[in-house]
Structure 1
């Protein structure tokens, strides 16, 4: 059993301009009605909710503006009272919408999207998650069709290519370890949302002499991973760095420009009393620490390259086991 621990802070806490780094958090869940969830979060965060549109509410709190929505554009945009529809359909619209809404709230995830929050304030998200569990929130394990995630959007210390490459390398090396730690529910394992980066790109990335400029860094990634569906999605970052270059490979209105990584791997197992937001966050901090300790990163990168060779030793030992033992021996966990 993994006990809840306080949300840890990485060594690099500030950006290059001296401000505390921030992170956005996205939580998908079910088990609560939409209005019930909005009212509960407003109460817990001492905020005031305003309905912006169908199934989209903004919640002004002392922590900033949260958004609570149903994660389905077709249902959010559905309007059976539209005057363009035949009168016979509009007359039954109210009853139909009640049925549709009841079904949607059971199948489609409700999503809480936080504002960018200082790393030091994340224990408030831990408290929020615990209170939602007590209120009856459900996560991925509740049904085979639930593939709910908990996503992190951590701001980077700076946007220099050398810094970014270190973070990419640390994540690529620790992907199997992270996947095992998160104990992904079967519903998430069957989705394409959390795929690892392509092997071709990973082999290029982990070479000791890999030192691209920004344009080459983006091209190398996009030629092998032109999709949002990766466990660590770089497209929001690339939209911030060079939107015209990104558009040559991917055009998707869902991509939002921001100077962050988009970590999509963890599932949201919110109704499991052994699952905690802090455990997910603290595992991410291991990536942070490895990315910013050059000697350790070089050592584990070399071991990772060796693990990808075909030999008897690698056939009898998994990289997940090797990396877990190395992290423990170095005091990362």
Structure 2
């Protein structure tokens, strides 16, 4: 079963409830936190989640068709003169140009290309990638990442509703929406997470996986397990998004604010960088609209997908 198939089944399952493009915590109400948390995890599975340097389980921006303010950037659609082998250097150079103003000791970056199932790709498969990530400080208590990703489910939905619903449910401590003159939408969030599963073996084991913590539950998480993450998601086309993230381990919100050193506007500027684009990946021989490394039993119907 593909991510798209699972998302379809989930939408049918909750067809008698409020619209599914609201954060899962809003869909089921604040008084049903355990159910809300479970559905948030399922919703991310259905929409492929966030393709950050970590696998972050939070409510997805889903539901309905493309939002009215969504644009299709022809440079992204055609990706003229794109060469994936140059992207590790391009992404690193452009990330450093902004991040090192606040983090002069950024350190070496790590580049990962992944497919639509978030499997890490060997270099021979890089031209087929759905997403690219460069990350810094992996394995440390202070991390940064820049991710490019083609995932229609992550580009859909109403950004303002995503923010208002996430704030009301406590998934976000802060959330703002900005739109630039070129039509791109930038969503900036601050939230709390805890480590759910550290990176390990396997095709998807290249990244730690975190679970979102609602604001009301912060005090219940052991101090050495609590993290805070500031993320900027920039929606550049019907299928293409960029993510820029700064993440710190901290025992409480006040400490986290002191440790988060990159101004949110710098994260947004990096996400809006026109050089940080990639073409949509080719379709897979398995009927899926995006290619998948031939190591998983994945198949797709040919209708209703992107």
Name the TM-score, length of structure 1 as normaliser.
0.25
The answer to which structure, 1 or 2, has the higher relative contact order (CA under 8 A, 6+ apart) is 1
Structure (1/2) with the larger helix percentage: 1
Name the TM-score, length of structure 2 as normaliser.
0.26
